[in-house]
Structure 1
Amino acid sequence: MTVNLRCRSPNGQLTFQGLSAEMTVREFLELLGARSGLPCESLEILHGFPPKPVQLPSNLDTSKLSELGLANGDMFTLKSALTVARVARVEQSVHQSLALSEQAPKQGLAASLVEDDDPELARALAASLERPVTVSCQSAPSTSTYKSQGSLTGGEAVKGLHNDIALPNAATSKASVAAPAASNIDLADGTCVTRRIIDSDNSCLFNAVGYVMEHSRMKARELRRVIANAVSADPVTYNNGFLGKENDEYCRWILMDQNWGGAIELSILCHHYKVQIAAYDIRTKRCDVYGADAGYAERVMLLYDGLHYDAMAVAAFRDAPEDLDVTIFNPASRDGSMIMDGAARLVAAAHSARQFTDTANFKLRCGVCQIGIKGEKEAVEHAAKTGHTNFSEY
């Protein structure tokens, strides 16, 4: 007997087809770890409504998948028990570290988040950035941020360090530069599927959705509020197990401009707009369609390179002005089939040109203890053990 399962993980939605119900639980956990990039020895499976942890058997080698209570077609949520409250934060730190090092590789600066009430970590992070820092501790400060002039004060909004450090060309808008190669695929009717570049400003997912839905690259704050309102209104669904943090904490977190969006946010936005959102991953060439099972007739397309989201549109012709773009289409129509074929070819061309970042295998260095780390998985494990979240690519 085989089963098909779907999984929400910190790295996006995963699909497992044709799994043997007789495979051992250990084999299942190893498969989950390999596909999700999370440490398999600390995986936590949440299932049901509201999501509740699945009790794993004491003997993983003799117990079968069929004993976990997951039925064919079920959706479950995957977390790392060691890092439930840290995975999203560490992944963001790693991603922002790489994005920053690409913008200013000579500086070798790493993005990071300063731990609340942790002066020692603040000093270590500042030392890793080779900048002097003074620490001013207030009574029970709720948050802290490192400012470019070299002071750490309590009671301010948490920010990634690089947001306050002036870097050459760090604020250059991606929308103002030439699109990369493999950005246009001609279609049979003379139109073309094209990649529309979105700013690298930590809000690329929201502005990419804003572009395909409303032809605006300035929708991030509005859409962050949409997500916060949806999550706040349904604390049963959006609980700690689902979000990786408490409901009210997440609502504050997603409203902060420096925090990145992912699968959770796309799943909410597809219902907000009542449209399918197809997110294409350049590295894997996989397409995850949010809202596909909700009966929505129309679709929009995003492109993900491992660190950044851009929008995809159908241009009237090559180099046509953006105001002629078509971004919403019916995937069941003949034109929709042609558009999706063009999108798949664009993704394949971008993959062949290696226009992606392999976060599973890139080489990182911890900015606190300076040890070498391979990939996001090891970074998450290192952060769970040490509390260090300052990484740079090398």
Structure 2
Amino acid sequence: MRFRIKTSSSSHTLNDIPDTLSFDDFLLLIEKETGIPSATITIKAGYPPKIISVPQNSVPLSQIQTLSNGDTLIVSSPVQLPTSDTPNPIKKQSNNNYNYKPQSNINTLNVNKDSSSISEPHTEKYYVKCRDGYMIKRVSFIFLDIPDDNSCLFRAVSYLVHGTQENFYGLRTVISDTITNSNKLNNTSYSEAILGRPVPQYCNWIMQPNSWGGAIELQILADWFSIEIVTVDIKTGTHYVFGLAENKYTTRIYLLYSGIHYDAIVFNPSLSVNAYSNDTLMFPASDSHALDCAIQLSKLVRTKSGFTDTTSFKLLCLDCNTILVGEKNATIHASKTGHTNFTESK
């Protein structure tokens, strides 16, 4: 089982927790992560969050009906520990070498569909009004702006999962390793026919910082993080859910897709660009209001800023100066030549 732990001051991830683990031992794991004494811990889960209570602490996690794999758990304590005596949270070492950082500020929300936009200098430009705040295209604050550098998908996912863009390159490693290991097991999910090029060539290509990600990468990342990744197309307002088919992930993130660029969608009670630390990054998969709001946001962005039609836009290959029409032709060109440096041609 996998859980995300949120306290008033930090967030953590617990991976590979056996469902046979007793609730008492689970509290000890949380104590190790957060520094909060297990005997004082209160846990809330679900949406809206409710306190988890068990008849006895020896009960295994699998028998706690209010606890599900992938849940975000809000951990608190009525006991206020002195700051000087509070140990630093112990970061759990993951079973990989991707150097991921803990995610931060993961909450849940309710939303509705009233929309607007503003132009004040220190507030976000694209948002829709939500029940108790705003769903926002997070681009205005300089440190959160997702650069148009062919790594925008990885940067956006990194921010929504980890609370920082800094881990974006490690996500490329996840893609490469997943495809390589899948083929070692003779799994045809990521065969040459699917990838459009030999597996080693594709893995080498996706590791290049100027190679863009798409549906294959989104599916792999959804399964890797045990979440749904929802992309909302600005052109059509259509949404696509990755990680939905055979899995029952309870949490999801939202991305806006313009045809050539991905941006993170967040919720925040404030429109100030300086309030990014209060961003809600993940949402319950069952929250249809959040989905409605993300779709409304895509329509607003389309009206205010336009979109790029990937079937007809022109790309210039900077490696050989060839002009290509449409994303499909650019992908074929990259597959045949190994060229990966593209820019939009007007």
| TM-score computed with the length of structure 2 as normaliser | 0.54
Q: Are the counterparts in 1 of residues 323 and 345 from structure 2 also a CA contact under 8 Å?
A: no
Specify the alignment match of 2:312 in structure 1: 361
Per the alignment, do residues 180 and 309 of structure 1 end up closer, same or farther by CA in structure 2, a change over 3 Å counting?
Answer: farther
State how far apart, in whole Å, the 2-side matches of 1:366 and 1:230 are: 28
Q: Please state whether the residue corresponding to 1:252 is helix, strand or coil.
A: helix
Specify the alignment match of 1:196 in structure 2: 138
Specify the alignment match of 1:209 in structure 2: 157
Per the alignment, do residues 244 and 377 of structure 1 end up closer, same or farther by CA in structure 2, a change over 3 Å counting?
Answer: closer
Specify the alignment match of 1:323 in structure 2: 277
1:277 aligns with 2:219: no
Q: CA deviation at 1:202?
A: 2.0
Deviations 1:80-111 (A, max 9, x none): xxxxxxxxxxxxxxxxxxxxxxxxxxxxxxxx
Q: CA deviation at 1:391?
A: 7.4
For structure 2, which runs of at least 5 residues remain unmatched after alignment? Answer: 1-120, 140-145
Q: Please state whether the residue corresponding to 2:211 is helix, strand or coil.
A: coil
Q: Please state whether the residue corresponding to 1:318 is helix, strand or coil.
A: coil
Q: Are the counterparts in 1 of residues 222 and 243 from structure 2 also a CA contact under 8 Å?
A: yes
Specify the alignment match of 1:152 in structure 2: none
Q: Please state whether the residue corresponding to 2:283 is helix, strand or coil.
A: coil
The equivalent position to 2:217 in structure 1, one of 265, 283, 288, is 265
1:295 aligns with 2:248: yes
State how far apart, in whole Å, the 2-side matches of 1:291 and 1:202 are: 23
Please give the residue correspondences for 1:103-122 in structure 2 after superposition, counting only pairs within 5 Å. Answer: none
Specify the alignment match of 1:187 in structure 2: 130
Q: Are the counterparts in 2 of residues 179 and 195 from structure 1 also a CA contact under 8 Å?
A: no
State how far apart, in whole Å, the 2-side matches of 1:246 and 1:274 are: 27
State how far apart, in whole Å, the 2-side matches of 1:244 and 1:253 are: 12
Deviations 1:193-215 (A, max 9, x none): 01123122221111111111111
Q: Please state whether the residue corresponding to 2:229 is helix, strand or coil.
A: strand
Deviations 1:10-62 (A, max 9, x none): xxxxxxxxxxxxxxxxxxxxxxxxxxxxxxxxxxxxxxxxxxxxxxxxxxxxx
Q: CA deviation at 1:367?
A: 8.3
Please give the residue correspondences for 1:26-41 in structure 2 after superposition, counting only pairs within 5 Å. Answer: none
Q: Please state whether the residue corresponding to 1:278 is helix, strand or coil.
A: strand
Q: Please state whether the residue corresponding to 2:284 is helix, strand or coil.
A: coil
Q: Are the counterparts in 2 of residues 314 and 339 from structure 1 also a CA contact under 8 Å?
A: no
Deviations 1:312-352 (A, max 9, x none): 111122216111111111132xxx22222211110011122
Please give the residue correspondences for 1:147-166 in structure 2 after superposition, counting only pairs within 5 Å. Answer: none
Q: Percent same amino acid among aligned pairs?
A: 35
State how far apart, in whole Å, the 1-side matches of 2:283 and 2:345 are: 39
Per the alignment, do residues 225 and 353 of structure 1 end up closer, same or farther by CA in structure 2, a change over 3 Å counting?
Answer: same
Specify the alignment match of 1:232 in structure 2: 180
Q: CA deviation at 1:368?
A: 10
Q: CA deviation at 1:273?
A: 0.6
Please report the RMSD computed on the Cα atoms of aligned residues, expressed in angstroms: 3.3
Specify the alignment match of 1:218 in structure 2: 166
The equivalent position to 1:308 in structure 2, one of 258, 261, 268, is 261
Number of aligned residues? 213
Per the alignment, do residues 206 and 377 of structure 1 end up closer, same or farther by CA in structure 2, a change over 3 Å counting?
Answer: closer
Q: Are the counterparts in 1 of residues 311 and 326 from structure 2 also a CA contact under 8 Å?
A: yes
Q: CA deviation at 1:249?
A: 2.0
Per the alignment, do residues 201 and 178 of structure 1 end up closer, same or farther by CA in structure 2, a change over 3 Å counting?
Answer: farther
| TM-score computed with the length of structure 1 as normaliser | 0.48
Q: CA deviation at 1:224?
A: 1.0
Deviations 1:246-299 (A, max 9, x none): 222222221111111111011000011100000111112111100123110111
Per the alignment, do residues 269 and 178 of structure 1 end up closer, same or farther by CA in structure 2, a change over 3 Å counting?
Answer: farther
Question: Partner letter of residue 277 of structure 1?
Answer: I
Q: Please state whether the residue corresponding to 2:297 is helix, strand or coil.
A: helix
Please give the residue correspondences for 1:15-54 in structure 2 after superposition, counting only pairs within 5 Å. Answer: none
Q: Are the counterparts in 1 of residues 313 and 344 from structure 2 also a CA contact under 8 Å?
A: no
